Amino acid sequence: MLLPKKCSIKENGVDCISPPSDFVSIENIQAEEYMIGVVCKVHRDLIGEQIKSMQKEGGAPKGIIRFRNVTVVSTDCLQGLSEDCNTKPARKEIKSKRI
Ligand SMILES: [Zn+2]
């Protein structure tokens, strides 16, 4: 899985360029998880509010909003991709910068 390099939030029409700190997902009553995006520390509350209003309007699945630390996920390989497990995220970053 490719980790987005920046936060998913747009503030006043401008993309936030901060590196993401958390994955944001919605867990419904059947314990199914829907990935919403990634968010930086500053925008965690904001994305929470946005998702809540989307849920009210039916634009997002109903359920609990979950935040999961990006570093924890990549270290523990919770995504289950062995390729990602062997590659350190920092190394990937350097590689893509060269290109
Ligand atoms: Zn942000």
Q: How many CA atoms lie within 13 A of 65 on its CB side?
A: 19
More confidently predicted of 30 and 2: 30
Q: What is the pLDDT of residue 3?
A: 74
Range 51-68 average pLDDT: 95
Distance 59 CA to ligand 1 centre (A): 21
Number of H helices, E strands in the chain: 4, 5
Neighbours of ion ligand 1 (CB under 5 A): 7, 9, 16, 18, 40, 43
Distance 15 CA to ligand 1 centre (A): 8
87 vs 62: CA distance, rounded Å: 35
Q: What rounded mean pLDDT belongs to the chain? A: 80
Range 68-95 average pLDDT: 54
Distance 86 CA to ligand 1 centre (A): 28
Task: Give the pLDDT band of residue 13 (cuts 50, 70, 90).
Answer: very high
